[in-house]
Chains A and B, each alone.
Chain A
Amino acid sequence: MDPFSSEGELLSIHNAFHQGQLTTVIEHNSSALAPENVIKAQVYKYRARIALGEAEEVSAELEGEDSPELAAVKALAAYTTGNTSIAAADIAKVISSSSKNGTVQVIGGIILHLEGKSDDAVALLSEHQGNLEAVSLIVQIRLCQNRTDLALKEVQAAKRWAQDSLLVNLAESWVGLRVGGEKYQQAYYVFEELAQAPSTSTAPTLVGQAVAEIHLGRLEEAEVALQQALAKDPKHAQALANAIVLSVLAGKDNSDQLSLLRNTMPDHPLLTDLEQKSELFDRAAAKYAAKITA
C-alpha cells in the first residue's frame, strides 16, 4: 500500500510537511512506523529542520551517512548552507547511482532547479513512480518557466490517479492562480479550506488564502488572512512580502514592512527584484537625461 495514501501511516507527516507544519513534522512520533517507512519519515524530519534553518546541524548529523536518501538530504543541507558547488556535485553523484529513488528524485529535482538546470530537474522528476511530491515539483518548475500549459497537463494527469491528495489540490491551485478567471475562486477555496480548518491552519496556508484573495481583488479579506498568518509566524517572509504588495495596492505606506522584510530575509525575491528594477529605472531614465534642459 502506498504509505502516503489516505489510509497510509505516513499521511499525517506528509500532509503536515506540505501544509507547512514543520514543527509537527519534527515532533512526529515515528516509532510505530513500518521499517520501510522509517527512512521516509526521517527524510521529512531532516528536510523540515533544513527549512527551519538547521541545515548546518543536519549536515553535521549526517556526516558519513551514505544511504541514497540521507546522502541526498545531506547534499540539500550543504546546498542550503551555501556550499552550492560541492552540494551540486554530491547530488549529481547520488543521482547517477540511484536515480530511481523517490527521495533522490525529489531532492535532486530541487537542487537542480535551484542550480538553474530546470530541464534536467524535470527530466529527473519525470521518472517518478507515482510520487506526488515529484509531480508538485514538476508543476512548480513548469510554472517558474511560465509554462502554465505543461503544468496544467501535469496536474490533470495526477488528478486521474490521486484526486484527493493534498499535493494535487495545492498544485492545481498554484496553476489556477496563473490561469485566473474562475480558477482564482477555486484556488481560493482550496487554500481557504486548509487555512480555516483548525488542524491545517498554518502561516503558509493562510498566505495562500491571502494571495488568492489579492488576485480576486478582495483586499480587505486578504489583509485579514495575512494578519492571521503573521500572528502565527511574525517573521514569515512570504506573509511579509505579500503584506507589502497589499499595502501598495491599498495605497498605504509600506516602508516599515519593507524594512521588516529586509531584516528577516534580505535575499527575498521581492527585494532583489525591486533593487534590480530600481537600477533598471535609473539606467532607462538616464537615456533621456540629455534631453532635460531647465
Chain B
Amino acid sequence: MQTMLTKFESKSSRAKGIAFHPKRPWILVSLHSSTIQLWDYRMGTLIDRFEEHDGPVRGVDFHRTQPLFVSGGDDYKIKVWSYQTRRCLFTLSGHLDYVRTVFFHHELPWILSSSDDQTIRIWNWQNRSLICTMTGHNHYAMCAQFHPKEDLIVSASLDQSVRVWDISGLRKKHSAPTSMTFEDQMARANSQQADMFGNTDAVVKFVLEGHDRGVNWVSFHPTLPLIVSAGDDRNVKLWRMSETKAWEVDTCRGHFANASACLFHPHQDLILSVGEDKTIRVWDLNKRTPVQSFKRENDRFWVIAAHPEINLFAAGHDNGVMVFKLERERPAYTVHQNNLFFINKEKHVRSYDFVKNAESLSMLSLKKLGNAWIPPRALSYNPAERAILVTSTADNGIYELINLPKDSSGAVEPTDTKRGSGTSAVFVARNRFAVFTSATQTIDIKDLSNSTTKSIKPPTTVNDIYFGGTGCLLLCAPAAVILYDIQQKKTVAELAVSGVKYVVWSNDGLHAALLSKHNVTIVTKSLEQVSTLHETIRIKSAAWDDSSVLLYSTLNHIKYTLLNGDNGIIRTLDQTVYLVRVKGKSVYCLDRQAKPQTITIDPTEYRFKLALVKKNYEEMLQIIKTSNLVGQSIISYLQKKGYSEIALQFVQDPQTRFELALECGNLDVAVETAKELDRPKLWTRLGSEALKQGNHQVVEMAYQKLRSFDKLSFLYLLTGDTQKLTRMAKIAEHRNDYTSRFQNSLFLGDVENRIQLLKEIDLYPLAYMTAKAHGLTDECQAILEASGLTEDQIHIPETGAPLPAPKAIVPTHESNWPLRATSQSFFEKALLGQVEALTIEEPAPIASNQLDFDEESKEEMSRSNGNLMADDEDEAGWDIGEDIVLEEQEGLITVDHDDTAAGTSEAELWARNSPIAADHVAAGSFDSAMQLLSRQVGAVNFEPLKFRFMEIYQATRTYLPASVGLPPLVNYVRRTLEATDSRKVLPIIPRDLEYITTKDLQAAFATMKNNVLDEGVVLFRRILHTLLLSTVKSKNEVEEAKKIIQTATEYILAMTIELERRSIEKDPAQVKRNLELSAYFTKPQMELPHRQIALMAAMKVAYTKKNFLSAAEFASRVLANNSSGKNAETARKIKVNGERNAHDAIEIEYDSFAEFEICAASLTPIYAGSPLEQCPFDGSKYKPEYKGSVCRICNISSIGSPASGLRLLAQ
C-alpha cells in the first residue's frame, strides 16, 4: 500500500463538506457539529470558525472571486457568509429538509443546492431569491453540481439515478433581454418542451441508471464529456455523454463499503473516490484499474475535494479533514559542477548547463521505470562513469543504474540498465554505490556491475541515506544524522538533528546543509554543527552560493543563511521552486513542472552581511557605494552586531542617526544631528557621552544649549578656562542669580566680587568673614561701618589660610585633551578616503634622471603597453623554415633498444616525436637539443640557456609516492592531455607564449618606462631565451612568437645604444658619438610612447649641444606622433628655435632620411646596399667583420652562420 503525502490534518468532529480557496492556502470544513472551520493548511492554523447553523453542516463552497462562501445544513438553511467581515450576510430559506450540497456557479451569481426534500434549487445570491426548483428525483437529492463550462447540472439521488439537467433556458431568461424577431420567439417557444409542471427553465436531459443503490455523489469531468458517480452499491461508475445520449462506460469496483464521494483529477487521467470503508482510492481513468489506495484505521471518509489549480486534495472523515498530494512534486535532480541533471514530467532525463544557460534535449526516457503514475524520486550522478542512479518509490522502492549517452539525441529507452530494489541509492565512489533498503534496514555497497561487494547494517534505524563525502554516507535516522565510514564500517560522527530529509553539500564540499521539514542545520564535512535555524513554513530545498552562503526555499520564500546562522529573506515566491544552484545574482531552480528556471535575486544583503562577518571592509564599502542597501532590518542587524558606526552610513533619519552615533561614540555625527533636532534631552545625552570621551568642547556646547550655567562654570573651572569663567560670572550677574555668582566668584577666586555679592544680599556677616579671611582690612572696615558695628562687637571663629583659586597647570581648555580613544574603524577611514589601498592608483613611476618625459607621455605609454602587437612590421629578417630535414636528426637521437628488455621511457618518446628543441630538453636529451638549436639558429653559446634548460627539465617530471620502501614513481607531464598514442605524446613546456606576453613582456616594457635599461636588457634577453626553447599550438602563435622575438630584439638594441651613450656622455671628447648614439636610439622599432621617449631625449641632447637643425628635426617627429600636451609644447618651441638657427654645431653621422640599419656590435649605421650579416635567431644586423662572433643581442647564436630557422610547432 502506498503512503500518501499528507500535508495537513485537523482533528474535529465528522467533516461533511470541504472547499478549497482557489488562491489562498485556505480550506473550509463544515462539520457535523454545526461549525464551519476555516483553516490555513499551509501554516496549519485555524483562521476562523463560523457557527450559526443549527445542526450538521453538509455542504460548503467558496466563491471564486468574491470574499464569500456558502453553506447548507440540516436546519434546511443555506447561508451566504463574508469571510472578510466574518459574518453571515443572509440566509436563503426554502428547502423543506436537510440541505446536502451547495455550490456557486463559476460565473453567474447562482448557488446550486440539493436537498433531502428531493429538489435541486438554484438561487440568485445577488437578489437573494430562488430562481429555479428542479424536481424529478424521487428520493433524497444527495449532490448536484454545475458543469464547469456548459449550461448543465448533474445530480445524484438515493433513487439510484444520476440526472443531467439542461439549464440553458434559465440562463437565457436571466441574461439581459435581447431583441428577438417574432420568428425567433416562436421557434424558441416551440423548441423548449415544458416539463410536466410547464417549467422550461431546467429540463432533464439524461437520466443515468446503473447504480443498484442510492447514489451519493456525482461530478463532471473538467474538460471531457464524462461523469463519475459514487454510490451505496460500493461502486464508482464512469459515464459518458454526447449531445443526444449518455451511457455507462465502466465501473470501478474495489470499495467494500458505501462509496461516499468521487471526482476527476483536475490534471491527470485519474479518478479519486472515498468511502465508508475508510479508504481513499485512485483509479486509472482510461483503464478503470486501481492505481493507489490509502486506508485510515478508524475513520470513514465522507467527502473529497480537489484544489482547482495545484496538486492538492482534501478528504473529510469521521475525525476531521486531511489535505494531501497524490505524488511528490519534487523533481528528481542532481547537480554536478556546472550541470544540472533532472527528470522532467515526461520522465525524460535532461541536463541543464549553467554556463551556457541552456537545457539539453532529452537524453533518456524512463517511461518503464516503476509505475506510470509514480515519478522517479531521486537521482544520483557519477561523473567518472557518466552514469545515473534513479530511484522510484514504486513497488516498495526500486533503483536503476543507467549509463547516460554521450550526447543527448532524444528520449531513447536506455539499453544497458541494471536494477534492483531499494529505498534509496547513491554513488559513494567512482565505482561504488550504496543501496539502502528501508524494510530490511540494510545498506548494500555495490559495484557498477550491480553485484554486492559489502553489506552494512546501519547502527540505528535509518530513514534515508545520502552521500557523505568520499567513502562515507550520511545516514538520516529519525532523531539523528550519522556520518558513516563505509570502508571501516563504523560511525565517524553523529549529530542529534531530527527528521532530516535532504542533504545539500556546498560547492567546495566543506559544509552540508541538513534540511528537515522546519529546520536547516549547517554542518561541516565532519558533521560538526555550525548553525541551525527554524522556519515555520516548510523548507523545500537549498543551494549553496560560492561564498558559502546557503540559499534555501520554503513554500513561498527564498531565504538565505550565513554559516553563523544569520538569515533573512531574499524574495517571495509565487510558486514553489527547488533551488539547484546559485551563481552571482542568478538562482537556478526547478519548478514543480520540472522545468529549469532562473530567478534573479539581489544578493546585496547577504553579501554585505557576509563581508561584515568576514570583516572584509573593502567589499562592504564597495557594496555601500554601489548599491542602495537600506531598510530598517539591515540597520537593526548592524546595531545588534555592534556595528553601529556602519549602520550610521545607511541612515538618513536624524533621530536614528543620533542614537547610532552615540552608540558608536561618533560625536561629530551626534553633534550634527543634535543641532538639527535641537532637543534638550538629546543635548543632555550628548553632553554626558562627550564628557565620557573627554571632549569638553562638545560638553560645553551641550551645556550652553541646555543653559546649564552651573555645570558650564564647573566645566570651565576644570579645564582652567578663566576667561570664560569670568564671562560666566558676568552672566550670573546679569541673571541676578546670586548662588551662581557666588559660585563663580569662588571658582575664580574673586574675593572682591564675592564680598560685593554678599553685601548686596545683605549677608554682611559672611561678607565680613570673607574679607577678614582674605585679610582685606579696608573692606572689613567698610562693612563694619555699613552695618554700624565695631570689630569688638562681633565674635568670629578662627579662619584658616585663605583658599587660593586653583591654577590651571595645563591649558586644557585650548584643546580636547585627553580624549578617550575612540577607535576609528578601518571602515570609517575608508569612508573618509583615508585608506589608499582602496583606490587603485598606479604606483608613481620612478623618477627618470636622464630622460625626462612628462606625465603625458607616461600615460601614453601605460595605455599602449596594453596592446603590444598593434604594430605590425613586415620586415622579413627572420623566417621559420618549414622544411627542416628531420631524417638525419632522427638517426642521431634514436636509441636502439631491445624489445624484450626494459622499455622506452616516455621522455625518450618525446625526443623521438618532436623536432622542437624544447621537447628534447624536456626529454633530457640536451645533446640533441643543442644540435637542433645549432642547426636551426646557429646557436653556439649555450651557457645563458642553462636556466631555461633546467626549468623545462624540472617541470616535466612528477614524483608519485608508490610502494612503501621504494623510490617514487617518476611520471612525465604532457601537454598533449588527450593523447595516449606513444607517437603523439609531447611534454609540457613551462611558461608558454601566453605567459610570456602577459607577464614577461609587460615586465620588460615596464623597465623602459621606468628607465631601468640595464635590467630591461636582461629581461628582454630572457624573453628571447625562453622563446628559443618553447612550443606553440598553432601557426598564428608562430607568427606571434616571431613578433615578440623581433620586438625584444629592437628593444635590446635600443637599450644597448642608450646605455652606451650614457657611458660616454660625460666624456667631452665624445660629444659627436654622444649625439650620434642619441640619434640612433630613435631608430629601433619600439612602441610609440617609447619611441617618443627616445625622440625627446635625442631632441634635448641635440639642442643642448647646439645641433639646432637636428633638434628641430626630432621635434617635428615628436610632433608628428603627438601634437598636443606638454611634450609637444617643448618640441614646438625647439622646432621654432631650430628653424631659426638652422645649423648644427657638430656634424654627425646620421641622416634621418637615409635608409640604414644599426650594427648591433659597433652601434654604427649600415646603409642600405652595404653588405651586412644577420643573427640567425633574432635577425639583428651586423657589419660583415662581425661574422662568426656571438650575437650581441641574443648572446646565443653565431652571427651569419647558416641556419634552417627556429621550429616551435611540432607538425
Q: Do A and B bind each other?
A: yes
State A76–B964 Cα separation when bound (angstroms): 12
3 A-B pairs with least C-beta separation: A197-B471, A181-B980, A285-B942
Q: Does B404 contact A (CB under 8 A)?
A: no
Q: Which stretch, A63-71, A95-103, A135-143, touches the partner chain B?
A: A135-143
Assess A281 versus B926: contact at CB under 8 Å? Given A140-B969, A288-B934: yes
Question: Taking CB as reference atom, which chain B residue is nearest A203?
Answer: B961
Q: Which stretch, B291-299, B723-731, B772-780, B949-957, touches the partner chain A?
A: B949-957
Q: Does B394 contact A (CB under 8 A)?
A: no
Q: A245 is contacted by which of B470, B954, B985, B999 (Cβ under 8 Å)?
A: B954
- Measured between C-beta atoms, what is the minimum distance from B252 to chain A in Å? 51
Q: Does A1 contact B (CB under 8 A)?
A: no
Q: What's the interface size class on A, roughly?
A: 35 or more
Question: Judging by beta carbons under 8 Å apart, are B964 and A174 in contact?
Answer: no
- Measured between C-beta atoms, what is the minimum distance from B938 to chain A in Å? 9
Q: Does B501 contact A (CB under 8 A)?
A: no
Q: Which residues 420-468 in B have Cβ within 8 Å of A in the complex?
A: 429-430, 447, 453-454
Inside 8 A of B905's CB, which chain A residues have their CB? 146
Question: Judging by beta carbons under 8 Å apart, are B954 and A238 in contact?
Answer: no
Q: Does B902 contact A (CB under 8 A)?
A: yes
Q: Does A51 contact B (CB under 8 A)?
A: yes
State A164–B428 Cα separation when bound (angstroms): 14
Report A141-166 CB contacts with B as 1/0, cut-off 8 Å: 00111111100000000000001100
Q: Does B472 contact A (CB under 8 A)?
A: yes
Question: Judging by beta carbons under 8 Å apart, are A245 and B955 in contact?
Answer: yes
- Measured between C-beta atoms, what is the minimum distance from B284 to chain A in Å? 45
State A182–B951 Cα separation when bound (angstroms): 27
State A143–B971 Cα separation when bound (angstroms): 9
State A80–B926 Cα separation when bound (angstroms): 34
Inside 8 A of A143's CB, which chain B residues have their CB? 969
Question: Judging by beta carbons under 8 Å apart, are B469 and A284 in contact?
Answer: no
Starting from the known contacts A137-B966, A180-B980, A217-B977, 5 additional A-B residue pairs (CB-CB under 8 Å) come to: A18-B964, A241-B959, A274-B950, A281-B926, A284-B926
Assess A199 versus B471: contact at CB under 8 Å? Given A174-B960, A244-B954: yes
Q: Does B315 contact A (CB under 8 A)?
A: no
Q: Does A6 contact B (CB under 8 A)?
A: yes
Question: Judging by beta carbons under 8 Å apart, are B1190 and A193 in contact?
Answer: no
26 A-B pairs within 8 Å (CB atoms) are namely A17-B964, A47-B964, A48-B964, A163-B447, A170-B962, A174-B969, A180-B977, A190-B430, A193-B430, A197-B472, A197-B487, A198-B525, A199-B471, A204-B961, A208-B960, A211-B959, A217-B975, A245-B954, A245-B959, A249-B988, A269-B968, A270-B957, A281-B949, A284-B942, A287-B930, A292-B941
Question: Judging by beta carbons under 8 Å apart, are A291 and B940 in contact?
Answer: yes
Question: Judging by beta carbons under 8 Å apart, are A245 and B973 in contact?
Answer: yes
Question: Judging by beta carbons under 8 Å apart, are A174 and B962 in contact?
Answer: yes
Assess A145 versus B903: contact at CB under 8 Å? Given A196-B469, A251-B995: yes
Assess A6 versus B940: contact at CB under 8 Å? Given A207-B961, A249-B955, A251-B991: no
Q: Does A15 contact B (CB under 8 A)?
A: yes
Assess A245 versus B957: contact at CB under 8 Å? Given A185-B384, A193-B470, A193-B471: yes
Question: Judging by beta carbons under 8 Å apart, are B485 and A199 in contact?
Answer: yes
State A22–B972 Cα separation when bound (angstroms): 28
Assess A215 versus B471: contact at CB under 8 Å? Given A199-B487, A207-B961, A274-B953: no
Assess A248 versus B487: contact at CB under 8 Å? Given A47-B965, A110-B966, A238-B961: no
- Measured between C-beta atoms, what is the minimum distance from A274 to chain B in Å? 7
Inside 8 A of B429's CB, which chain A residues have their CB? 193
Q: Which residues 42-77 in A have Cβ within 8 Å of B in the complex?
A: 47-48, 50-51, 76
Q: Does B978 contact A (CB under 8 A)?
A: yes
- Measured between C-beta atoms, what is the minimum distance from A249 to chain B in Å? 5
Report B982-998 CB contacts with A as 1/0, cut-off 8 Å: 00010010110001000
Question: Judging by beta carbons under 8 Å apart, are B958 and A211 in contact?
Answer: yes
Q: Which residues 1133-1190 in B have Cβ within 8 Å of A in the complex?
A: 1188-1190
Question: Judging by beta carbons under 8 Å apart, are A50 and B968 in contact?
Answer: no
State A215–B776 Cα separation when bound (angstroms): 104
Q: Does B788 contact A (CB under 8 A)?
A: no
Question: Taking CB as reference atom, which chain A residue is nearest B902?
Answer: A145
Question: Taking CB as reference atom, which chain A residue is nearest B996?
Answer: A251
Q: Does A117 contact B (CB under 8 A)?
A: no
Question: Taking CB as reference atom, which chain A residue is nearest B449?
Answer: A163
Assess A186 versus B964: contact at CB under 8 Å? Given A281-B949, A285-B942, A292-B1190: no
Question: Judging by beta carbons under 8 Å apart, are A186 and B384 in contact?
Answer: yes
Q: Does A242 contact B (CB under 8 A)?
A: yes
Question: Judging by beta carbons under 8 Å apart, are A51 and B943 in contact?
Answer: no
Q: Does B310 contact A (CB under 8 A)?
A: no
Question: Judging by beta carbons under 8 Å apart, are A242 and B492 in contact?
Answer: no
Assess A281 versus B470: contact at CB under 8 Å? Given A140-B966, A198-B526, A245-B957: no
Inside 8 A of B939's CB, which chain A residues have their CB? 288
- Measured between C-beta atoms, what is the minimum distance from A6 to chain B in Å? 6
- Measured between C-beta atoms, what is the minimum distance from A284 to chain B in Å? 5
- Measured between C-beta atoms, what is the minimum distance from A144 to chain B in Å? 7
Question: Taking CB as reference atom, which chain A residue is nearest B1192?
Answer: A294
Question: Judging by beta carbons under 8 Å apart, are A12 and B960 in contact?
Answer: no
State A178–B966 Cα separation when bound (angstroms): 18
- Measured between C-beta atoms, what is the minimum distance from A273 to chain B in Å? 8
State A215–B978 Cα separation when bound (angstroms): 11
Report B836-872 CB contacts with A as 1/0, cut-off 8 Å: 0000000000000000000000000000000000000
Inside 8 A of A269's CB, which chain B residues have their CB? 959, 967-968, 970
State A19–B525 Cα separation when bound (angstroms): 21
Q: Which residues 163-184 in A have Cβ within 8 Å of B in the complex?
A: 163-164, 170, 174, 177-184
Assess A214 versus B973: contact at CB under 8 Å? Given A146-B904, A200-B487: yes
Question: Judging by beta carbons under 8 Å apart, are B969 and A144 in contact?
Answer: yes
Assess A178 versus B971: contact at CB under 8 Å? Given A277-B926, A278-B950, A284-B930: yes
Inside 8 A of A197's CB, which chain B residues have their CB? 469-472, 485, 487
- Measured between C-beta atoms, what is the minimum distance from B894 to chain A in Å? 16
Report B1173-1211 CB contacts with A as 1/0, cut-off 8 Å: 000000000000000111000000010000000000000
Inside 8 A of B782's CB, which chain A residues have their CB? none
Q: Does B979 contact A (CB under 8 A)?
A: yes
Inside 8 A of A192's CB, which chain B residues have their CB? 470
Report B523-541 CB contacts with A as 1/0, cut-off 8 Å: 0011000000000000000
Q: Which residues 107-134 in A have Cβ within 8 Å of B in the complex?
A: 110, 113-114, 118, 133
Question: Judging by beta carbons under 8 Å apart, are A288 and B949 in contact?
Answer: no
Inside 8 A of A146's CB, which chain B residues have their CB? 902-906
Question: Taking CB as reference atom, which chain B residue is nearest A229?
Answer: B961
State A50–B963 Cα separation when bound (angstroms): 13
Q: Which residues 252-294 in A have Cβ within 8 Å of B in the complex?
A: 268-270, 273-274, 277-278, 280-282, 284-285, 287-288, 291-294
State A242–B959 Cα separation when bound (angstroms): 6
Question: Judging by beta carbons under 8 Å apart, are B903 and A147 in contact?
Answer: yes
Q: A294 is contacted by which of B384, B430, B950, B1190 (Cβ under 8 Å)?
A: B1190
State A133–B962 Cα separation when bound (angstroms): 11
State A27–B932 Cα separation when bound (angstroms): 57
Inside 8 A of B525's CB, which chain A residues have their CB? 198
Question: Judging by beta carbons under 8 Å apart, are A215 and B973 in contact?
Answer: yes
Question: Judging by beta carbons under 8 Å apart, are A274 and B954 in contact?
Answer: yes
State A217–B971 Cα separation when bound (angstroms): 14
Question: Taking CB as reference atom, which chain A residue is nearest B527?
Answer: A198
State A214–B970 Cα separation when bound (angstroms): 13
Question: Taking CB as reference atom, which chain A residue is nearest B383?
Answer: A189
Inside 8 A of B384's CB, which chain A residues have their CB? 185-186, 189
- Interface-central residue, A113, A196, A291, by most chain B CB under 10 Å: A291
Q: Does A92 contact B (CB under 8 A)?
A: no
Inside 8 A of B1188's CB, which chain A residues have their CB? 293
Question: Judging by beta carbons under 8 Å apart, are A181 and B964 in contact?
Answer: no
- Interface-central residue, B469, B472, B955, B958, by most chain A CB under 10 Å: B958
Q: Does B1016 contact A (CB under 8 A)?
A: no
Inside 8 A of A170's CB, which chain B residues have their CB? 962
